[in-house]
Amino acid sequence: MSPLTLYLARAFGLFCLILCAILASRPKASLQMLNALVDDPGGLLTIGVFTLAAGVACVLGHSVWTGGYLPVIVTLLGWAMLVKGALVLATPASGLKALYAAMHYPHTFRFVMAGGAVFGAVLTAAAFFAPV
């Protein structure tokens, strides 16, 4: 397994685990911040630009579709970031609000964060215990 795959899997896993755990520990404040972000064009621009840039960098640096599940997951996460960044930049705030409403986000927030934390923990463990 390549050192880049292990590095990115560890980084993505730890990021997801820590972020989801923190957001889930403060659901009211987290939801208030997310709602405020959707109403802030500058914030959306910043999130979209950085997510798109990270996604492009990951896709250009790590487009590996063979070699086991870990390289494929890292590649899919890179593509997901690229697509998410482009969609955040291209979608009006009303569209993002409609998406959150369709997901019943305030009611499913803790469930989504718990799923994200579990995914992050599994990805982190797989990356740290993968054969080099």
- DSSP of 82-107: HHHHHHHHHS-HHHHHHHHHHTTHHH
Q: Give the span between the Cα atoms of 66 and 89, in whole angstroms.
A: 31
Confidence of residue 23 (pLDDT cuts 50, 70, 90): very high
pLDDT at 106: 85
Q: What is the pLDDT of residues 38-90, one digit of tens each?
A: 899 999 999 999 999 999 999 999 999 999 999 999 999 999 999 999 999 99
Radius of gyration of the chain (CA): 16
DSSP annotation of 104 reads: T
Show me where the domains of the chain are located. Answer: 3-128
pLDDT at 48: 96
pLDDT at 99: 86
Note whether 67 and 93 are within 8 A (CB): no
